[in-house]
């Protein structure tokens, strides 16, 4: 049986089994599922097609007795001549003295090694007596550990396939195999280990890529369904007419994309299921406006709302704009780390009694002593700034509220449907009309004075600038030192009428607030800052953004920073000061100057950085696929996602017998991985 221990395979003893276990190979199924990471291709080509320095394979007849030379202590060099296509080729083999006896004049040999086209010489890494074996053209290369050699592993897999291969059952319903022209599981698995040719391998891979994605997406969709059903009874009966009136009071009309997202969210809130939704939208696309409407919806349903943001600056800003927006319609409070003592006690009491309608705050919201009377809707802004655990705590507050996560870091679709596959996703992919794209330039540091001249001129025209100081990785303290230095430098450079301000994370809250207020009122013209202003800050009169050491930032982060300008009527500029060394760095700067579309940037960022780095350390949630690659195989991912949705929504696993093998396989996998939470 496939579930038997590997020791059931002939030639696998206790010692080998131990080494295999270290490679996570315990059962025969594990062994057969252990795919090569690459294939060495031995293909015999005509001599004139061989490329200098490439690894090549030739087949020829040994012309005369090899000669063996020793040098150093244990080192040797065996050389001989083989004839192929009537050309004499010199073959050299290092440190394999024993081969001398095996290679005799007149023998046909197949040699693989590095080709020297100038000297017509091959440095042999692998040889075989006899003609090239047509079947063995593509050699599987496995990643191995301990005493397990590639050769040994190949042999036992071959044996296991021979003895147990027939037990490999199909798990995909016939219709998918037919529609996508995928080979059956048994055949595909054999091909993965011992491909006959490239085309067969391609199709076998295609099958496993689809299978991996489908299984993963099914797990996510099942999880999503479980989460929803576990929390039935959470319908928020908001007053549609009041909402309409509220929206009509806005100084603008909602964009189509905002309306669509809003409808999706409201229908989640109205339903008896608990909302678990991600709202994505570029900086300035109007997410906060949508959030405000939803919070208002909760109030009209007689419930409470909470908005959690990553920084105090942002909390204060949201507090102000929501207070304005709601006027006297709601009791809104601000809860941050700087609310302390008696004031905090009173605030918590009014939150618990239900006197407060909406609370806006930072991490302070998820402290143990914060209780709600009836929390209906919890919104997390810039959700990627919070860890998984913090988000969970908020979800557990109150009686399992509807939860909306918002992000202005557009997440590439491929990542969104893997990392957030258990969530519903809404996207605002349209900007309010009349926004001018921020013009972006890439400059070298020696142009800094010219840039400052440009700033000075615009400041004289009543505009404002941010200057983001150099980033020192992992060191908040040095970043601040940099900001302080730069602040003094600019103060010296500019004439006294240009007022320079300083902002960084370690300033006391009151000072931060004061600085932001001065900047918002144009009492400060040039604001030197660390990346604390990266998220959410809204000062429409600021039209210039200078970023020092731009090559140290990720594309998405630069895009966030750039989003601080271009929020008003006037043309805005972003100047990236960078001197990247590598090609990738240069490419990133070029991309920044060429596009302002956050989604496109995030796709590019993903390509340049890879999925592991995209989210940073805090949050990964991205599975390791064996064969599939999210970026390269995104089409298969989309297809699998669509199929998984259909399977779960229409309950095919239970209803359609052709899905039974898939259902069983999935059940086993879930039991094995226990990752479902």
Compute CA 516 distance to the chain's CA centroid, rounded to the nearest angstrom. Answer: 33
Site string for Mg ion, 111-150 (x = CB under 5 A): ----------------------------------------
109 binds, among ligand ADP, Mg ion, none (CB under 5 to 8 A by kind): none
234 binds, among ligand ADP, Mg ion, none (CB under 5 to 8 A by kind): Mg ion
Q: In the complex, what is the shortest distance from the CB of residue 287 to ligand ADP, in angstroms, rounded to a whole number? A: 3
User: What interhelical angle do 312-326 and 509-520 show, nearest 10?
Assistant: 60
Q: In the complex, what is the shortest distance from the CB of residue 232 to Mg ion, in angstroms, rounded to a whole number? A: 9
Q: In the complex, what is the shortest distance from the CB of residue 322 to ligand ADP, in angstroms, rounded to a whole number? A: 11
Residue 60 or residue 281: which is nearer to ligand ADP going by CB?
A: 281
Rounded to whole angstroms, the Cα distance separating 598 from 595 reads 8
Stretch that binds ligand ADP, among 161-169, 277-285, 393-401, 417-425 (CB under 6 A): 277-285
3-state helix, strand, coil in the chain (%, to 5): 45, 20, 35
Pairing of strands 121-129, 108-116: antiparallel
Residue 317 or residue 418: which is nearer to ligand ADP going by CB?
A: 317
Q: Should residue 402 be labelled a site residue for Mg ion when binding is judged by CB under 5 A? A: yes
Which of 359, 360, 388 has its CA nearest to residue 374? 359
- The partner residues of 577 in beta bridges, in order of sequence, read 443
Q: In the complex, what is the shortest distance from the CB of residue 321 to ligand ADP, in angstroms, rounded to a whole number? A: 8
286 binds, among Mg ion, ligand ADP, none (CB under 5 to 8 A by kind): ligand ADP
Q: Should residue 312 be labelled a site residue for Mg ion when binding is judged by CB under 5 A? A: no
Q: How many residues bind Mg ion (CB under 5 A)?
A: 3
Rounded to whole angstroms, the Cα distance separating 450 from 442 reads 13
Q: In the complex, what is the shortest distance from the CB of residue 290 to Mg ion, in angstroms, rounded to a whole number? A: 16
Site string for Mg ion, 248-287 (x = CB under 5 A): ---------------------x------------------
Residue 234 or residue 285: which is nearer to Mg ion going by CB?
A: 234
Site string for ligand ADP, 286-325 (x = CB under 6 A): xxxx------------------------------------
Query: Hey, which bits of 338-419 come out as E strands?
Result: 358-361, 375-380, 402-407
Q: In the complex, what is the shortest distance from the CB of residue 255 to ligand ADP, in angstroms, rounded to a whole number? A: 5
Residue 129 or residue 237: which is nearer to Mg ion going by CB?
A: 237
- The partner residues of 75 in beta bridges, in order of sequence, read 71
3-state secondary structure 481-532: HHHHHHHHHHHHHCCCCCCEEEECCCCCHHHHHHHHHHHHCCCCCEEEECHH
DSSP string, 58-117: EEEEE-S--EEEEETTTEEEEEEEEEETTEEEEEEEES-TTHHHH--TT-EEEEEEEEET
Residue 123 or residue 242: which is nearer to Mg ion going by CB?
A: 242
Binder of ligand ADP out of 283, 306, 360, 471 (CB under 6 A) = 283
Q: In the complex, what is the shortest distance from the CB of residue 401 to ligand ADP, in angstroms, rounded to a whole number? A: 21
Rounded to whole angstroms, the Cα distance separating 619 from 409 reads 14
Q: In the complex, what is the shortest distance from the CB of residue 258 to ligand ADP, in angstroms, rounded to a whole number? A: 6
432 binds, among Mg ion, ligand ADP, none (CB under 5 to 8 A by kind): ligand ADP
**Nearest 10 degrees: Cα torsion 564, 565, 569, 571:** -170
By CB under 6 A, what part of segment 637-656 binds ligand ADP?
none
| Helices assigned H by DSSP within 534-659 | 555-562, 583-594, 598-609, 611-614, 634-649, 652-655
Residue 173 or residue 566: which is nearer to ligand ADP going by CB?
A: 566
By CB under 6 A, what part of segment 347-366 binds ligand ADP?
none
Q: In the complex, what is the shortest distance from the CB of residue 266 to Mg ion, in angstroms, rounded to a whole number? A: 10
Q: In the complex, what is the shortest distance from the CB of residue 253 to ligand ADP, in angstroms, rounded to a whole number? A: 6
Q: In the complex, what is the shortest distance from the CB of residue 597 to ligand ADP, in angstroms, rounded to a whole number? A: 14
- The partner residues of 91 in beta bridges, in order of sequence, read 80, 122
DSSP string, 27-57: BHHHHHT---SEEEE--B--GGG--TTSEEE
- Is residue 29 within 8 Å of 163, Cβ to Cβ? no
Q: In the complex, what is the shortest distance from the CB of residue 390 to ligand ADP, in angstroms, rounded to a whole number? A: 20
Q: Should residue 408 be labelled a site residue for ligand ADP when binding is judged by CB under 6 A? A: yes
Count Cβ neighbours within 10 Å for each residue of 255-289 and write b for 16 or more, e otherwise.
bebbebbbebbbebbbeebbbbbbbbbbbbbbbbb
Neighbours of 625 (CB within 10 A): 17
281 binds, among Mg ion, ligand ADP, none (CB under 5 to 8 A by kind): ligand ADP
252 binds, among Mg ion, ligand ADP, none (CB under 5 to 8 A by kind): ligand ADP
Place of tokens 């490329």: 51
Residue 274 or residue 562: which is nearer to Mg ion going by CB?
A: 274
Rounded to whole angstroms, the Cα distance separating 298 from 293 reads 9
Rounded to whole angstroms, the Cα distance separating 75 from 97 reads 9
- Within the chain, how many helices (H) and strands (E) appear? 24, 21
| Helices assigned H by DSSP within 332-398 | 341-353, 388-396
Residue 377 or residue 500: which is nearer to ligand ADP going by CB?
A: 377
Which of 59, 57, 58, 61 has its CA nearest to residue 104? 61
Q: In the complex, what is the shortest distance from the CB of residue 432 to ligand ADP, in angstroms, rounded to a whole number? A: 3
By beta carbon distance, the residue nearest ligand ADP is 286
By CB under 5 A, what part of segment 204-243 binds Mg ion?
234
Q: Should residue 183 be labelled a site residue for ligand ADP when binding is judged by CB under 6 A? A: no
Please give the structure tokens belonging to residue 369: 């002593």
Residue 12 or residue 292: which is nearer to ligand ADP going by CB?
A: 292
Please give the structure tokens belonging to residue 304: 């409470």
Site string for ligand ADP, 233-262 (x = CB under 6 A): -------------------x-xx--x----
Residue 37 or residue 252: which is nearer to ligand ADP going by CB?
A: 252
Residue 34 or residue 273: which is nearer to Mg ion going by CB?
A: 273
Q: Should residue 537 be labelled a site residue for ligand ADP when binding is judged by CB under 6 A? A: no
Q: In the complex, what is the shortest distance from the CB of residue 374 to ligand ADP, in angstroms, rounded to a whole number? A: 26
283 binds, among ligand ADP, Mg ion, none (CB under 5 to 8 A by kind): ligand ADP
Q: How many residues bind ligand ADP (CB under 6 A)?
A: 15
Which of 553, 620, 615 has its CA nearest to residue 382? 615
Which of 231, 229, 150 has its CA nearest to residue 193? 150
Q: In the complex, what is the shortest distance from the CB of residue 281 to ligand ADP, in angstroms, rounded to a whole number? A: 5
Site string for ligand ADP, 421-460 (x = CB under 6 A): -----------x----------------------------
Per CB under 6 A, residues contacting ligand ADP are: 252, 254-255, 258, 281, 283-289, 408, 432, 538
Per CB under 5 A, residues contacting Mg ion are: 234, 269, 402
């Amino acid at each position: 049986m496939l579930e038997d221990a590997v020791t059931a395979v002939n030639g696998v003893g206790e010692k080998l089994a131990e080494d295999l276990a270290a490679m996570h190979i315990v059962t025969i199924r594990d062994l057969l599922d252990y795919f090569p990471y690459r294939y060495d291709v031995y293909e015999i080509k005509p001599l004139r097609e061989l490329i200098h320095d490439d690894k090549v394979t030739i087949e020829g007849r040994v012309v005369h007795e090899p000669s063996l030379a020793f040098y150093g202590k244990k080192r040797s060099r065996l050389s001989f001549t083989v004839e192929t296509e009537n050309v004499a080729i010199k073959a050299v083999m290092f440190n394999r003295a024993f081969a001398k006896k095996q290679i005799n004049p007149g023998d046909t040999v197949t040699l693989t090694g590095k080709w020297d086209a100038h000297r017509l010489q091959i440095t042999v890494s692998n040889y075989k007596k006899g003609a090239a074996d047509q079947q063995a053209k593509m050699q599987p290369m496995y990643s191995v550990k301990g005493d397990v050699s590639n050769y040994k592993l190949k042999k036992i897999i071959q044996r296991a396939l021979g003895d147990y291969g027939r037990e490999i059952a199909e798990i995909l319903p016939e219709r998918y195999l037919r529609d996508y022209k995928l080979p059956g599981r048994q055949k595909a698995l054999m091909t993965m280990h011992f491909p006959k040719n490239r085309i067969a391998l391609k199709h076998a891979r295609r099958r496993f890529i689809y299978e991996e994605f489908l299984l993963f997406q099914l797990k996510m969709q099942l999880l999503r369904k479980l989460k929803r059903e576990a929390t039935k009874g959470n319908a928020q009966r908001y007053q549609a007419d009041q909402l309409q009136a509220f929206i009509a009071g806005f100084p603008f009309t909602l964009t189509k994309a905002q309306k669509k997202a809003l409808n999706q969210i409201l229908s989640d809130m109205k339903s008896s299921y608990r909302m678990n939704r991600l709202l994505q939208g570029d900086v300035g696309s109007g997410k906060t406006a949508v959030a405000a409407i939803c919070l208002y919806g909760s109030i009209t349903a007689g419930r409470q709302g909470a908005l959690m943001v990553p920084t105090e600056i942002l909390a204060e800003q949201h507090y102000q704009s929501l207070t304005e927006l709601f006027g006297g319609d709601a009791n809104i409070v601000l809860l941050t780390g700087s609310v302390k003592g008696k004031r905090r006690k009173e605030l918590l009491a009014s939150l618990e009694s239900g006197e407060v309608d909406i609370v806006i705050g930072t991490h302070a919201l998820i402290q143990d002593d914060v209780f709600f009377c009836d929390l209906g809707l919890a919104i997390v802004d810039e959700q990627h700034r919070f860890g998984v655990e913090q988000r969970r705590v908020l979800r557990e507050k109150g009686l399992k509220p509807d939860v909306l996560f918002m992000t202005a870091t557009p997440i590439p679709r491929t990542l969104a449907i893997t990392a957030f596959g258990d969530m519903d996703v809404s996207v605002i992919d349209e900007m309010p009309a009349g926004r001018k794209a921020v013009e972006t330039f890439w400059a070298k540091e020696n142009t800094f004075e010219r840039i400052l001249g440009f700033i000075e001129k615009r400041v004289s025209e009543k505009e404002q600038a941010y200057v983001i100081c150099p980033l020192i990785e992992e060191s908040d303290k040095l970043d601040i030192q940099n900001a302080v230095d730069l602040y003094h430098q600019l103060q010296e450079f500019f004439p006294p009428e240009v007022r320079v301000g300083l902002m960084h994370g370690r300033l006391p809250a009151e000072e931060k607030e004061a600085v932001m207020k001065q900047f918002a009122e144009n009492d400060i013209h040039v604001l030197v800052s660390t990346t604390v202003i990266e998220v959410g800050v809204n000062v429409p009169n600021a039209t210039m953004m200078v970023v020092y050491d731009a090559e140290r930032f990720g594309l998405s982060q630069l895009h966030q920073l750039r989003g601080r300008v271009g929020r008003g009527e006037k043309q805005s500029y972003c100047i990236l000061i960078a001197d990247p060394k590598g090609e990738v760095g240069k490419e990133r700067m070029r991309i920044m100057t060429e596009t302002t579309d956050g989604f496109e940037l995030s796709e590019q960022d993903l390509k340049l950085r890879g999925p592991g780095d995209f989210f940073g350390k805090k949050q990964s949630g991205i599975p390791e696929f064996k064969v599939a690659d999210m970026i390269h195989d995104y089409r298969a991912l989309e297809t699998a996602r669509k199929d998984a949705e259909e399977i779960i929504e229409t309950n095919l696993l239970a209803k359609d017998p052709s899905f039974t093998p898939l259902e069983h396989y999935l059940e086993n996998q879930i039991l094995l991985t226990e990752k479902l939470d």
